[in-house]
Chain A
Amino acid sequence: MSTVANIWRNLPLKAKVGAVLFGIFLLTAIIGPELAPYDPSFQNPAPNLLMAHPSAQHWLGTTQVGQDVFSQLLDGIRQTIVLALLVGIIATALSVIVGVTSAFLGGLWDEFLSLLSNVFLVIPALPLLILLLGYLSGRGQWPTIIVLSVLGWPWGARVIRAQTLTIRNRDFVAAARESGEKSWRIIAFDIIPNEVSLIAASFVNTVLYAIATSVALAFVGLADLNSWSLGTILYWAESQQALQLGAWWWFVPPGLAVALIGTSLVLLNSGIDELGNPRLRASRGMERVAGHRVWATDPTPVLSQLSSSRTRVAAFLHSFSRGSLLDETPAGGELR
């Protein structure tokens, strides 16, 4: 438990904010639909509930046909997040498999797999998506998931291939091969663990891409419009002229949800980056020592020269920061 707490404490602030924000949406995706007050598709015929403002019964108002927007939103978050995570997992798995094998095997395999990912890279994604989903629409989310996965892997694959190429030639891989380890074992235990931060960043990026693309596709109607995702809510809001009628409660919440999920993923991504590459953190050039800012180019600080000039308000605010942990560390280090 304390190790988990320690890891959390050492995370960069960006990663903390991103993790909390994404955690909230993940929780909503897991339990939200069970808590939904209404069936999102139920059309309440009562005339005063058509396009009604937010109220105690309907927290986010109703649509043109009397459906509860809040229930739709909860359902939509689940659909969108499930889709994005599935696309992320499939596409990242594909990119790891292709990237690592092509770099590790080299030769003809490398030529072929690189050619394949280059071909997928130059395929114009959006027109292809529109074309494919035009044929496949109306069969739930799976067509979108498959098409997005198939088009989402080459970026990751190229990056991972490049990284594998540099790792493959390091001495510890040669040592592993010399000691008679099998290729799959070298890949799984020597190479991939060295790429975890890269793979995680690639996963988060792919999830982000899946959310943005799937919402955009649903918005133009290329999705299963009978189910509720953030994109289809926006599609119906647009097609029923919510914007012109001033029904902000209909299109602002799903739009905001997309924006916030995207923000949380970007924050998570740069957080992972800093975690896997501590030099990024050091490159900020400034560290707090004994509560004072010290730049890397400054002379080594001397404790007796550092005056404790912090005001009470500043000291109170400072007590929230990670740096305050360092101040209170007793000499000899009781803090573990």
Chain B
Amino acid sequence: MSPILDISDLSVVYRTPGGDVRAVEQVNLTLSAGEVVGLCGESGSGKSTLAYGATRLLRPPALVTSGSVLYSGRRITSGGDPVDLLAMDHRELRATRWREIAIVFQSAMNALNPVLRVQDQLLDAVRAHLRMPRNEARDKAATLLDLVGIPRNRLRAYPHELSGGMRQRVMIAMALAADPEVVIMDEPTTALDVVVQRDILAQIVELKETLGFAIMFITHDLSLLLELADKIAVMYAGRLLETGAAQDFMRAPAHPYTRGLLNSFPSLHGSRRELTGIPGSPPDLRDPPPGCPFVPRCGYAVPACTAVDMTLEPVAGANGLVAAGAVPGGPAGHLTACPIVTPEVSQEGVLS
């Protein structure tokens, strides 16, 4: 599978009078067709900035300082060379957005206009990107609601007449209006209770299976990604710390930060264990520390950590168990930015 979206070496800063805030720093991430890539990290780790920066949706003072975002969807390239989203002008981006790459925004209540009916907002999305006659567009809007499991008679409802879960479904329907190749979902289930969350996730997976788009799923909930995602990327302080298949994360998380995240929620089966959080808070991104940004909070930190160059390398020194879990030769090879902590080190029980 060749990647449909290839983000390489992407850096995004926010220019402020107090200095550049380096929100995303040299990130490499690929998304293959039909794949679910989960992007996980705590608040302020740069996960949304990464997604919106790659799609050129950030407002000033944001500035993309390096990198490329190569997109190779079928309609745009028709088998030719991939195009760089960062080299596109207004018009090309407009043609790309929604038809190729659609977004489900974070807060459905803020993303929906409270004074317009759901139908009108869906029609806006459909007509802006598809150029179809009005009555056809209305049919299309109804079909979209069918797709996400909302009764057609809700077309004439206002956003405040819908429940939180329904609003989120409307947002998803809207994202699917132009049959995109890639859907970026920015914490689509964060404001919802777990039952509705599960419903919507199931719906998303089902839609993905039938329509065949790729998903970049942004969340701070790693446990959710373990079920949903094919591939997971963990982000911290603007950098990727670890990428790999979901199984890799479950069986052998490589980076100390990932282990911290996995230790901060209970698992449903297996023996009981003490839950440990991660003490401390993320570093100031205006003046990031040298080497690994996680050093001040890391239980394994050694002096060499401040000289780590943060490139993602295959997980080294794997014993038999880890090798069996890795997807052999797959695109989602298990990579980590931490060369210090290998599985052997962690088995010696250095973890505090």
Interface residues in chain A, defined as those with a beta carbon under 8 Å from any beta carbon in chain B: 6, 9-10, 287-290, 294-296, 298-305, 325-326, 329-336
Q: Check B77 for interface membership: any CB of A closer than 8 A.
A: no
A332 partner, pick from B64, B90, B286, beta carbons under 8 A = B286
Q: In the complex, A310 Cα to B13 Cα: how many Å?
A: 23
With a cutoff of 8 Å between Cβ atoms, the chain B residues found around residue A303 in the complex are: 63-66
| Given A296-B60, A331-B22, A334-B19: A304 and B287 interface contact (C-beta under 8 Å) | no
Cα of A303 to Cα of B53 in the assembled complex, Å: 12
Which 4 A/B pairs are nearest by Cβ-Cβ distance? Answer: A333-B19, A299-B56, A287-B60, A300-B58
Whether the Cβ atoms of B19 and A335 lie closer than 8 Å is yes
B20 close to A301 (CB less than 8 A)? no
Q: Tell me the residues in window 265-305 of chain B with beta carbons closer than 8 Å to chain A beta carbons.
A: 286-288
Contact (Cβ within 8 A) A304 B20? no
What is the interface of chain B mostly: helix, strand, loop, or mixed? Answer: mixed
Compute how far the CA of A303 lies from the CA of B13 in the bound complex, rounded to whole angstroms.
Answer: 10
B19-36: contact bitstring with A at CB < 8 Å (1 yes, 0 no)? Answer: 111100000000000000
Known contacts A299-B90, A331-B20, A332-B286; 18 further A-B pairs (Cβ under 8 A): A10-B17, A287-B60, A289-B60, A299-B93, A300-B53, A300-B62, A301-B63, A302-B63, A303-B63, A303-B66, A325-B17, A329-B15, A329-B19, A331-B65, A333-B286, A334-B19, A335-B19, A336-B19
Measured CB to CB, the residues of B under 8 A from A are 12-13, 15-22, 52-53, 56-66, 86-90, 93, 286-288
A103 to chain B: closest CB distance in Å?
28
Pairwise interchain contact A290-B15, C-beta atoms closer than 8 A: yes
Chain A: which residue is nearest B85 at the CB level?
Answer: A299
Docked complex Cα distance between A145 and B169 (Å): 64
> Whose C-beta in chain A lies nearest to the C-beta of B97?
A299
Q: Is the CB of A335 within 8 A of B17?
A: yes
Contacts of A330 in B (CB 8 A): 19
User: A10: nearest residue on chain B (CB-CB)?
Assistant: B17
Report Cα–Cα, A288/B61, bound state, in Å: 7
| A287 CA / B13 CA spacing, docked (Å) | 15
Pair B61/A289 contact, Cβ less than 8 Å: yes
Q: Closest Cβ of chain B: how far from A31's Cβ, in Å?
A: 35
Q: Could you tell me the distance between the alpha carbons of A284 and B21 in the complex, rounded to whole angstroms? A: 23
- Which of chain A's residues have a CB closer than 8 A to the CB of B89? 299
**Contacting B19 at CB < 8 Å: which of A288, A305, A332?**
A332
- Give the residue name and chain of the B residue nearest to A327 (CB): B15
A304 close to B66 (CB less than 8 A): yes
* Contact across chains for A289 and B15 when beta carbons are under 8 A apart: yes
Are A302 and B19 in contact (CB-based, < 8 A)? no
The complex places the Cα of A9 from the Cα of B18 at a distance, in Å, of: 12
Chain B hits for A294, CB < 8 A: 60
Is there contact, CB below 8 Å, between B58 and A333?
no
Q: Of all chain B residues, which has the CB nearest A294?
A: B60
Report the minimal beta-carbon distance from A285 to chain B, rounded to whole angstroms: 10
Q: B87: which A residues are within 8 A, CB to CB?
A: 302, 305
Question: Do A333 and B60 contact each other (CB < 8 Å), given the known contacts A298-B90, A299-B88, A300-B53?
Answer: no
A304 to chain B, nearest CB (A): 7
**Known contacts A287-B61, A290-B63, A300-B58; A335 and B18 CB within 8 A of each other:** yes
Closest to B57 in A: A300
B56 — which chain A residues lie within 8 A by C-beta?
Answer: 299-300, 302
Nearest CB of B to A251, in Å:
45
Contact partner of A336 (CB less than 8 A), chosen from B18, B59, B60, B90, is B18
Q: Which of B13, B87, B89 has the most CB of A within 10 A?
A: B13
CA distance A232 to B16 in the complex (A): 50
